[in-house]
Amino acid sequence: MTPPARKDAPWLFRTYAGHSTAEKSNALYRANLARGQTGLSVAFDLPTQTGYDSDHVLARGEVGKVGVPVCHLGDMRALFQGIPLDQMNTSMTINATAPWLLALYIAVAEEQGADIAALQGTVQNDIIKEYLSRGTYICPPKASLRLITDVAAYTAEHLPKWNPMNVCSYHLQEAGATPEQELAYALATAI
């Protein structure tokens, strides 16, 4: 258990953002942090969300459009260049590729000399929501559930300040679920 938050501590402010390249996103993040933002919320582009490299034929026209493209460790390094990850609270709104992108984030933190147990943040990691509503899943449900639980198990053991999942039911309603179905699927996923 972590100690309760101090009532006089500043709130966590994270702007959901990702630019056309890792370098441009880094500049945006650093500017926002200099203006008083207290954490980061990374928006990834659609190819990154679905596990495609930027040069893949299916990624054409989508690279860097709705967020930052991250294809490899070099992109993740550029994304967080000069940002001490052990002093950040980083949210990554990513689902199907959450295990892989979290691994890249941890690798960059280790390269920075960080104790990974000090890392704070969240990966959305709601792969079932992707399967049911957005169609941006990579693996079928059984394998997706395994990936979700693997991330939770890893973070519980190695990243105690990390939230391994952020259940997001909004997309279910957008895909046609009733409010009751939305709640039922969200709770089932969380459990």
Q: Identify whether 11 is part of a domain.
A: no
**Structural domain of 21:** 16-190
Q: Identify whether 46 is part of a domain.
A: yes
- Which positions ≥6 away from 98 have C-beta within 8 Å? 92, 123, 124, 125, 127, 147, 151
* DSSP-derived secondary structure letter, 43: E
Q: Identify whether 5 is part of a domain.
A: no
Q: Identify whether 6 is part of a domain.
A: no
Residue 51 burial (CB count, 10 A): 16
Q: Identify whether 7 is part of a domain.
A: no
pTM score, two decimals? Answer: 0.91
Say how many residues make up the chain: 191
The SS3 assignment for 68 reads: strand
pLDDT tens per residue across span 82-130: 999 999 999 999 999 999 999 999 999 999 999 999 999 999 998 888 8
Q: Identify whether 9 is part of a domain.
A: no
- With tokens 């147990």, the residue in question is 117
Q: Identify whether 34 is part of a domain.
A: yes
Averaged over 59-75, what is the pLDDT? Answer: 97
> Token digits for 9?
């501590």
Q: What is the CATH number of the domain that holds 130?
A: 3.20.20.240
Cα Rg for the chain, rounded, in angstroms? 17
At 171, the amino acid letter reads H
pLDDT tens per residue across span 135-186: 888 988 899 989 999 999 999 999 999 999 998 888 888 889 999 999 998 8
The rounded distance, in Å, linking the Cα atoms of 168 and 166 is 6
Count how many domains the chain has.
1
Q: Identify whether 182 is part of a domain.
A: yes
